[in-house]
Amino acid sequence: MNRVEAQQKNVFLVPNAEDVSLVGGCRAGDRSTLELFFRTHAPYVERVVTRLVGPTSDLQDLVQTTFIEAIQSFGRYRGEASLKTWVTRIAVHVCMHHLRAGVRRPVPLELVPVSHEPEDPTPRADGTLSMRQLARRLYDLMDGLSPKKRVAFLLYVVEDYSLEEVAALTGASRAATKSRIWFARRELLAAVKNRPDLRAFIQSLGGAESWR
């Protein structure tokens, strides 16, 4: 991700004039404003949910639950962060609840939009597993992680949030967040010690030195 993309992704900005207008209309129950709120934020929420829970037939239900909870919570929105931050935080907690429930209804990875997958930092032409196959294996492995470790790890290494941002989105301290990411990575690497392709893939996701 380049600097411009990082700036565009940064959801930890103060609310802008459009946010203020949307909140007012949503609180009043204005249908057109609620629809605009959904259209504006649904693509990003869908991407985050897909990356946190993996390929699942529950995707649309989880996205819908996120927006239902957001609409019901507008009265508690204090304007301390952008609407994108706020709805992302709700999506993260919806995903955590889903993962804790242990419900797993996977779908073929071919049905997952390419834009929802992690970028491949090392294109391969030597017959090893494709990016989509590696992503599927990674999500299979992450089913063995606790939801807290899994979500922190994915927000940090795939969504490219900072430790402070991951902590804010998950409601944890910076120290707890750092610990969850470190243990998640260690557990994943231990699980693939005899799979050099998967090990290299995991090591390529976010620089380990950036959070030690």
For residue 46, the model assigns a pLDDT of: 95
- Lowest model confidence (mean pLDDT) among 49-53, 66-70, 133-137: 133-137
Distance CA 11, CA 86 (A): 9
Task: Determine the average pLDDT of the residues in 124-131.
Answer: 54
Domain parsing of the chain, residue ranges: 11-117, 119-212
At residue 95 the predicted structure's pLDDT band, cuts being 50, 70 and 90, is very high
Task: Determine the average pLDDT of the residues in 126-144.
Answer: 74
Instruction: Using a pLDDT cut of 70, give the percent of the chain over it.
Output: 76
Instruction: Using a pLDDT cut of 90, give the percent of the chain over it.
Output: 47
State the pTM of this model: 0.78
Report domain 119-212's class.
Answer: mainly alpha
End-to-end C-alpha distance for the chain, whole angstroms: 21
Regarding the domain delimited by 11-117, which CATH topology (the fold level of the hierarchy) does it fall under? Rna Polymerase Sigma Factor; Chain: A (1.10.1740)
| Alpha-carbon torsion angle 162, 99, 134, 172, nearest 10 | 20
- CA–CA–CA angle 208, 209, 212 (5° rounding): 90
Distance CA 188, CA 211 (A): 16
